[in-house]
Amino acid sequence: MSRLCVVVPAYNEGESLREFHARLATVFDQVAGKFDMQCEVLYVDDGSRDDTYVVMCSLRDSDARVATLKLARNFGKELALTAGLDAADADAVVVIDADLQDPPELIPSFIEYWREGCDVVYGTRSTRAGETPLKKFTSAAFYRVMEKLSATPVPRDTGDFRLMSRRALDALRRLRERQRFMKGLFTWVGYRQKSVVYERDARFAGESKFNYWRLWNFALEGITSFSTAPLKLATYVGLGTAGLSFVYALWVFGKALLLGDRVQGYPTLMLVILFLGGVQLMALGMIGEYLGRIYIETKQRPLYLIDELIPAARDETGISLQNSASQAGKVGVN
């Protein structure tokens, strides 16, 4: 019998989790009947400050299909997801948010495509209920910029909600970079990808954890992790300004020769100095963005630290979570 593991990163989702699990459990029953699969869910508590972990533990006590993983602190969604994917051991893995914005009811259709031989089946949002026009606009703009800049374009309007086959998961696990832009990494893997269109609901409870500052940093992460175009841009802007300056120098020189130098031109001088200063600072800033990331990467820190990993009751006989023995020592995986 093949196995399905659903990985759910959650940060302060105490209010949504029970409802989420109720809906997921219904889907599990359906999947078990229709596809003859053994289903399991791994809840990853990303250092929540509310009762999320307590709720997770009570779900685990009442449902043998629930496994829980608690991180040592809040590592951010991308790392929580990584921790969950590292621990999951199944033939197909589904990633889904805990806030019910992505409907668990879509999982059976993901499985159908997977059975047909697709390695990555991802949900593409046709609508995004409950989100402000500004968020929709910035999000759309981001995907389009990424498309232009990156060699491995991230599909538009696609979140992390997806199913991955075993080989896609294994490939993903080999990408150990610290600066993780998961959407890009998912795409980088390649293999046979398939999109399923769905309507994104509003959050069930609570608020989005991604404010605009976090989203801006997320976008920077995406661009710098998957494209060196900004570095090239600095080169071309530099070349362009150098060319223009040369032409301008000829003009100034010619004018001085023909008309004499009347010690004017303070405004132009200031303009040129400020402009070049600005361009140089911008180029330095871009280089700095990459340098900072190289710096973080060279430290070779573990990606996350696990506080506690408890397998699903049903699996205590043996199968289940990867390396649970080695992780019981509460070490981080790099």
Binding site for Mg ion (CB under 5 A): 99, 101
Task: Out of 3, 5, 9, 25, point to the residue binding ligand UDP (CB under 6 A).
Answer: 9
Question: With binding defined as CB under 6 A, does residue 311 bind ligand UDP?
Answer: no
Q: Which of residues 30-59 bind ligand UDP (CB under 6 A)?
A: 46
Annotate each residue in 164-203 with x if it binds ligand UDP (CB under 6 A) or - if it does not, as one string. ----------------------------------------
Q: Tell me if 315 contacts ligand UDP by CB under 6 A.
A: no
Give the C-alpha separation, 39 to 94, whole Å.
11
Q: Is 292 helix (H, G, I), strand (E, B) or coil?
A: helix
The residues near 251 (Cβ < 8 Å, ≥ 6 apart) are none
CB neighbour list of residue 109: distance below 8 Å, 6 or more residues apart: 196
Closest to ligand UDP by CB, 46 or 157: 46
Establish how many alpha carbons lie within 13 A of residue 228's alpha carbon, considering only the half-sphere containing its beta carbon: 6
Nearest approach in angstroms of CB 6 to ligand UDP is: 12
Binding mask 94-133 for ligand UDP (x = CB under 6 A): ---xxx-x--------------------------------
Q: Binding ligand UDP by CB under 6 A: which of 65, 70, 77, 183?
A: 77
Map tokens 């070049």 to a residue: 276
Cα–Cα dist 201/126, whole Å: 10
Q: Does 11 bind ligand UDP (CB under 6 A)?
A: yes
The only residue of 4, 38, 76, 122 in contact with ligand UDP, by rule CB under 6 A: 76
**According to CB under 6 A, which one of 4, 6, 10, 31 is a site residue for ligand UDP?**
10
- Residue 261's CB: how many other CB atoms inside 10 A? 11
Distance CA 169, CA 164 (A): 6
H runs (alpha helix) in the chain: 14-35, 52-62, 77-87, 107-115, 133-149, 166-173, 182-189, 212-226, 229-259, 266-298, 324-327
Q: How far apart are CA 91 and CA 38, in angstroms?
A: 10
Going by C-alpha positions, the residue among 6, 15, 10 that lies closest to residue 38 is 6
96 binds, among Mg ion, ligand UDP, none (CB under 5 to 8 A by kind): none
The distance of closest approach from Cβ of residue 53 to ligand UDP in the complex, given in angstroms and rounded to an integer, is 12
Number of residues that bind ligand UDP (CB under 6 A): 16
Distance (Å, rounded) from C-alpha 116 to C-alpha 103?
Answer: 22
| Cβ distance to ligand UDP smaller for residue 73 or 262 | 73
**315 contacts which partner out of Mg ion, ligand UDP, none, CB within 5 to 8 A by kind?**
none
- Residue with smaller CB distance to ligand UDP, 97 or 315: 97
Instruction: Assess contact for 184 and 226: CB atoms under 8 A.
Output: yes
3-state secondary structure of 210: coil
> Closest approach of Cβ 188 to Mg ion, in Å?
23
Shortest Å distance, C-beta 192 to ligand UDP: 26
* Footprint of ligand UDP (CB under 6 A): 9-11, 13, 46, 74, 76-77, 80, 97-99, 101, 208-210
